[in-house]
Chains A and B, each alone.
Chain A
Amino acid sequence: MGIDVRHLVKRFRSSCQKTEGFLAVDDVSFSVQPGQMVALLGPSGSGKSTVLRIIAGLESPDSGHVIMQNHDVTWTPPQNRHIGFVFQHYALFKNMTVWKNIAFGLEVNRWEPEIVAAQVERFLALVQLKGYENRYPCQLSGGQRQRVALARALAPRPAFLLLDEPFGALDTKVRRNLAVQLRELHDEVKTTSVFVTHDQEEAFELADEIVVINRGRVEQAGTARDVYDRPASKFVASFIGNVNMVEGVNDGHTLWIGPLRRAVVPARALENRGELVLLVRPESIEVCSSPCSDTLDVMIRTVAYRGDRYEMMLDLDGLELRMIVDRQRGASRTWQTGATLHVRFSRFAVFEASEGHEALRDKLRSLGYIE
């Protein structure tokens, strides 16, 4: 009942023949376990929507395979794939009422009229749109349209539910509400779902597994914990969550960190040597009471109390670090701007600095991943 995506490649040719075209999907492989909900997470233009459209059969790959329920469906038209597809802008049939919209998929598959009616009623109840049967899509709000689209996609009992930025066009409050509903619906009808999003919170909240896609390539596939705690690449680490980037040099014994290359002896020996980039989550910076071999002395620049946590900007020889201290631990002492702290990186990811630290930072900043 799962989906297997193997080595998909898709190049969009532009209208001028001379150019090579745009490589939207570059050797993408991942698999979706039956009954799971998987998020394709990536920045806009990363090719995640194209992957979803290939799974649906709305685009054809240049090479590679899509395998559903152990059948190769790469060349099967979308009609025969047992899918429900929810479009970003819903694509409701403007000339049909809500009832007709939901019934459409059942009628074209020649369900018995009584069963159609029963099924539509059930789904109207499921998405809480009873009483709206005879409205036209233009008479509904954005959230209601979204729910109709969801009901329409689910009513023919698809084996797979595919959602393209399902909450992209909604405002934050409606979005959170609907996200919870979607997850409940998914668990209730037990389909296998794949959804595309650029919002990591949405992905973390809904998905069993997250496939991070960047520039047409899979950067990492795994659970939320995997991609957050063990990012496979610098991109994943910086795209998901907040992260501090500190550069350093490892000579095998000592790590020389920060702009002034302060010496630190890490608790565990690092495999990589030479020029490195350390990615440290704000909550992985730990405050120690006294200096020791694996701590750094930093200065507090600003302190902000956020209710459930304290957020601090630290100064490491001119480099800004963000630190988060949870409420309980934060309340146990006073934080004073300008004071010196001894901090240790409790966990961090290490990548070799293939390009200069600043260059990488600039690029990520320009893409909007870091501030």
Chain B
Amino acid sequence: MVPNPFTDISRSVRRRDQRQSPRRYQWFFLRRDPRLMQRLLIAAVLAWLAFLIAFPLIGIITHTFADGWRPFVDALIEPEAMHAFIITLLVTGVAVMINVVFGIIIGLVIARHQFPGKILVEELVSLPLAVSPVVAGFMFILLFGRNGWLGSWFEAGGVRIIYALPGMIIATIFVTLPFVSKEVIPVLLEIGTEMEDAARTLGASPWQVFRYITFPSIRWGLAYGITLTTARALGEFGAVLVVSGNIIGRTQTATLHIHESYTNLHFQGAFSASLVLAVISFTMLLVMEFFRRRIEKSREN
């Protein structure tokens, strides 16, 4: 026989307030009433975002154009600046292309194949995210530097890697390695293998399966990954600074040019180049947002 739980505990244990009025109706998950707490929190977040992110952006825009358009344009058509942007485009272009091809392959291998040590491979792919760019650059100096493991070997063959373009490209590839495969893998896992199996049973070759089945379903995720890679490659500074030697007119990228101009107190140059990069990044952001919407839409279908 189960005892009645309500008979042996005195009523005085309860402690609840009965006096209530409509004014105290400030109940935080009822949305329709205007409430103080909610407004305060919104204001706090907006202020935080403004001082941390929005105002600095506005600040640099007003500073760049403090004396009108001319200094801005002049600073950009300086030969060093032009050259720096060309180098940046070159490094970014090569790094993105290589990483897209290998990113897709890595994605397919991780999402579709079973082999021992797969978890280790997954961890290794995301490792560059955890390594400081300066340390990354340092690792490549240890590897390819004049006294490095492979450096002396390359040197003997007449190929310079450190303090030259190849090193900068390798460093950029390293820091942007995870982005494509990280975006592709979840999509691949989600679509599953049924469609690919179906195509194969109909006689499609592996390449045809990829071309007509796999690629169309991962393309938006891939596009998102490419955008991320590009944005990161354009803005990479630490790793490239370490491996490039920062030789003006030869191995200077746009970010290095900004840093150089800033340390030499050539502020107009630094601001102008920064603004160009900021505008590019902002465009990238909008493109990313667009791709993300597409991914979500295709997921719904």
- Tell me, yes or no, whether A and B come into direct contact in the complex with CB atoms closer than 8 A: yes
Over the window 1-31 of chain B, the binary record of Cβ atoms lying under 8 Å from chain A Cβ atoms (1 yes, 0 no) is 0111110010001111110111011010010
Query: In the complex where A126-B2, A126-B5 touch, is A111 in contact with B16 (Cβ < 8 A)?
Result: no
Please give, as numbers and ranges, the residues of chain B lying within 8 Å of A78 by CB-CB distance. 27
Query: In the complex where A59-B30, A157-B9 touch, is A77 in contact with B4 (Cβ < 8 A)?
Result: no
Query: In the complex where A59-B30, A75-B22, A77-B25 touch, is A111 in contact with B13 (Cβ < 8 A)?
Result: yes
Minimum CB–CB distance for A114 against chain B, Å: 11
Interface centre among B3, B5, B13, B20 (most CB of A within 10 A): B5
With an 8 Å Cβ cutoff, the count of chain B residues facing the other chain is 21
One of A117-125, A253-261, A313-321 contacting the partner: A117-125
Interfacial residues, chain A to chain B (CB-CB below 8 A): 13, 57-60, 71, 73, 75-80, 82, 109-112, 115, 118-119, 122-123, 125-126, 155-157, 188-190
Query: In the complex where A110-B15, A111-B13 touch, is A190 in contact with B20 (Cβ < 8 A)?
Result: no
Is A109 a contact of B14 with CB atoms below 8 Å? Answer: yes
Is A60 a contact of B25 with CB atoms below 8 Å? Answer: yes
Q: What is the predominant secondary structure among interface residues of chain A facing chain B?
A: loop
Interfacial residues, chain B to chain A (CB-CB below 8 A): 2-6, 9, 13-18, 20-22, 24-25, 27, 30, 32-33
Residue of B nearest to A151 (CB): B5
Residue of A nearest to B3 (CB): A122
Residue of A nearest to B5 (CB): A122
A105 to B17, CA, bound (A): 15
Interface centre among B3, B20, B27 (most CB of A within 10 A): B20
A57 to B16, CA, bound (A): 15
A112 to B9, CA, bound (A): 11
Residue of A nearest to B10 (CB): A115
Query: In the complex where A75-B21, A80-B18, A80-B20 touch, is A123 in contact with B13 (Cβ < 8 A)?
Result: no
Please give, as numbers and ranges, the residues of chain A lying within 8 Å of B17 by CB-CB distance. 80
Minimum CB–CB distance for B7 against chain A, Å: 10
Is A75 a contact of B25 with CB atoms below 8 Å? Answer: yes
Minimum CB–CB distance for B241 against chain A, Å: 45
Known A73-B20, A82-B16, A112-B13; 13 more pairs at CB < 8 Å? A57-B27, A78-B27, A109-B13, A110-B15, A119-B9, A122-B5, A126-B5, A156-B14, A157-B14, A189-B4, A189-B5, A189-B6, A190-B6
Is B30 a contact of A79 with CB atoms below 8 Å? Answer: no
Is B20 a contact of A123 with CB atoms below 8 Å? Answer: no
Minimum CB–CB distance for B57 against chain A, Å: 31
A111 to B13, CA, bound (A): 6
Please give, as numbers and ranges, the residues of chain A lying within 8 Å of B24 by CB-CB distance. 75, 77
A76 to B16, CA, bound (A): 12
Minimum CB–CB distance for B117 against chain A, Å: 31
Please give, as numbers and ranges, the residues of chain B lying within 8 Å of A82 by CB-CB distance. 16
A115 to B14, CA, bound (A): 12
Residue of B nearest to A79 (CB): B16
Is A77 a contact of B27 with CB atoms below 8 Å? Answer: yes
A60 to B33, CA, bound (A): 10
